[in-house]
Each structure stands twice: as structure tokens, then as C-alpha cells.
Amino acid sequence: MPARTSALKVTTGGAVSLDQLWRPLGLVGGLDRIDRLEALDGYRTEVVAVLDDLLGNADAGAPDVDVLAAVRAVAYVNDVLTRRLLVLAEHRLGPPPCAYAWLALGSHGRGEPVPSSDQDNALAYEDGAAGADAYFARLADLVVAALERAGLRRCDGGFMATRWCRPLGELQALFTGWVDRPAPDALLRAEVFLDVRPVHGSLDVDALTRTLVAGGSRGPFQVQMARAAVAFRPPLTIFGRLRTTDSRLDVKRAGTAAIVLLARLYALAAGSPATTTLLRLEAAAAGGTLSRAGAAQLGEAYALLTGLRLRHQVAEVLAGRSPDDLLRVDDLGRGDRDRLLFALRTVRDVQEATASRFATHTVT
């Protein structure tokens, strides 16, 4: 399939509702009726087809598509699928021995997955319940395997409920340790857990979020988060020009990863429990930890880069290839290349201000 050469027109508001995005295929209603694993085989194809329709409509001159609403819609239907699989697993295994919560992590926790996103999940359950360890380990095995069949590949780093299936008290102790003793290596391993969101179950896991928000007000924790946020430098020359390899740009490493980390840092510093990147930027601006102009520019950059990434990955999947983040810059028009360059310069400028503010070069 030929690559599209214009960037997706994007907005950063809520102009397109989840229901409007997915109503044409009735996808959510179909998920609620799934009762056999064979029904999962076409799930990823259907999701990508809907995304392709949205991108095609934007190319055809339809009203601007809110690309971040589109990825939130993907997260929404992934949540519906996950809940259905958990219900089916409970029917197979019998009632759970205690309250539990299935947790979405990483891009799923933020509600911002793209076709290349792997599984990031965990399972927390009440402390001290008899038989809980064995039951929830089996539950996690069933659901992670079913999600894989639906096209959500297993996490290479092992951040899945098959490995992170713990009593709530144990997870709480881990979170507290990351906040109280934020060693660089430990925080790097914990990054995926900093975007945690309950998807299913009756267990109250608000204590995990409160721990992270409390940590956001502490200097050592902020410094380590800031170091992570400035580590992914946009590939720009000292004159602000774009550097690529064979005309390809890793759009995640070049920009989106840094914006996610910056938004998280400044939102937690403002005491906000927000999870999506845009809401975090808004919370940072409202809380005064980030200027309103800086937050707005980062939000626009994130929408642009996510649109480019999404368009590229949909084309890769439809061409029968595994989606990656390697965007061909030469395929973009002049205006889109200019907007890309401005977005990456925005990231660089905020990173430089962040490095100075948090003295990330200081050895501790």
C-alpha cells in the first residue's frame, strides 16, 4: 500500500466522541458477546480498519480528526475486550476468592495505545485471602494469552499480569520504595507502573495513585523523573536542523516518549493524579509547574507526532508488516516537515529548561 504523504490533521480537544468513532462497526457490542477464543482472531484487523477509515476521511477533506480521541477509543475498546475476557475467565475458574483489580499500565494506562503497543498490565488482589495466589495466577495466564490471540503481543520486558500478580500490600510497598528511594535503575524499571489505571474488579487501588502523587512533591523523586524526561533527546543538530538515518526518524524516541515523561513529571509535581498526557499538561499549567504556553505547545507537538506515528503504523499493518516507529521523513510534504521540526524543537526547549530547573546533571 502506498504511504500517505500528508500528516493527519489533528485537534487536541474532544470534538469526536468514542461512540462516534466506533458506532459504524458496532465493535463494542460485538465484544460483549464474545464467548469463544476464535472470535478474537479478527479483533486487531477490525481496529486497524477503523483507524484507517478515520485517516482516509481526514485525507478526503472531512472535518479534522482528533487523533488523541482516536487512540483513546482504541484504549476504550481494549478495556471492553479485557473486561469481557476476565468475566469469561471467572466463569471458567469459578468466583474469585477475594476482591481484585486488573490494572492497565504504560500506554494502556494512559489511554494512548497505538498498533505497536504491547501488553502492559498487572493484577492486584486483597491481602491474606486463602487460595488467592493460585487462582489469580491462573486468571492472569488465561487473559494474557487471550489478549495475545487478539493481537496484543506480550511485553518484551515482562510487564504483564502473568509476572505482576501480587497482593495489594506488596504492590503498595513497591510503590512506596520507588518514591522513598528513587534510585535510577529502580525508577527505570518502574516507569511503566507510573501510568496505572484500574480496568476491572472491585478492589480499591487508589492508594497506589496517592503514593505516586505524594512522591511527585518530593525533590529526589522529581529529579529522577526529570532525568528520565531529558534522556530522550530529539535528533537535532546544534543549528536546530533534523538529523535522520536513511531518511528515517524514530518518532517515539525522537519526541513522543519525552513528552509523555515531561507531562508526567510536571503533573505529579502539581499534585495531579491525571493519567492522559494532555490532561497532565493541563494540570501542570493549572498548577503552575509548567507555563501555559509550554503546556499548549507540548500538547500540540504530542498530537502531531502521535498522528504521524499512527498513520505510519496503520499503513505498516495493512501492508502486512509489523508496525514500528521509523517514519520516512522524505514521504512528508514540506509543510508537514516544518511542523515536525517545530514540534521537536519545542521538546528540546522544554527539556533544556527542565534539565536546568531540576539540575539533572548533578551526581547524587
pLDDT score of 30:
63
pLDDT score of 364:
46
- Selection from 32, 36, 127 nearest residue 77 by Cα: 32
Average pLDDT score over residue span 211-222: 87
Q: How far apart are the first and last CA of the chain?
A: 51
pLDDT score of 212:
87
Q: Report the b/e string of 57-86 with b at 16+ CB within 10 A.
A: ebeeeeeebbbbbbbbbbbbbbbbbbbbbb
Q: Say if CB 103 and CB 122 are below 8 A apart.
A: yes
Task: With a cut of 70, say whether residue 10 has pLDDT above it.
Answer: no
pLDDT score of 187:
72
Look up the pTM and report it.
0.89
CATH class given for the domain over 216-358: mainly alpha
Q: CB under 8 Å to 65, separation ≥6 — which residues?
A: 8, 9, 10, 11, 16, 54, 55, 57, 58
pLDDT score of 362:
61
215 confidence band (pLDDT: 50, 70, 90): confident
3-state helix, strand and coil shares in percent for the chain, rounded to the nearest 5: 60, 10, 35
More confident residue, 115 or 55: 115
Question: What phi-psi label fits residue 220: left (phi over 0), alpha (psi between -120 and 50 degrees) or beta?
Answer: alpha
Task: With a cut of 70, say whether residue 7 has pLDDT above it.
Answer: no
Give dist(CA 1, CA 56) in Å, integer: 13
* Weakest-pLDDT range from 49-58, 72-81, 323-332: 49-58
Query: Measured in whole angstroms, how far is the alpha carbon of residue 140 from the centre of its chain?
Result: 21
59 confidence band (pLDDT: 50, 70, 90): low
Q: Say if CB 12 and CB 300 are below 8 A apart.
A: yes
Task: With a cut of 60, say whether residue 9 has pLDDT above it.
Answer: no
pLDDT score of 238:
81
Give dist(CA 326, CA 254) in Å, integer: 10
69 confidence band (pLDDT: 50, 70, 90): confident
* Weakest-pLDDT range from 125-134, 219-228, 253-262: 219-228
Per-residue pLDDT tens over the stretch 281-325:
999 999 999 999 999 999 999 999 999 999 999 999 999 999 999
pLDDT score of 189:
67
37 confidence band (pLDDT: 50, 70, 90): confident
Average pLDDT score over residue span 65-86: 88
pLDDT score of 314:
94
Average pLDDT score over residue span 63-67: 64
Q: Say if CB 159 and CB 122 are below 8 A apart.
A: yes
Per-residue pLDDT tens over the stretch 89-100:
999 999 999 999
More confident residue, 186 or 52: 52
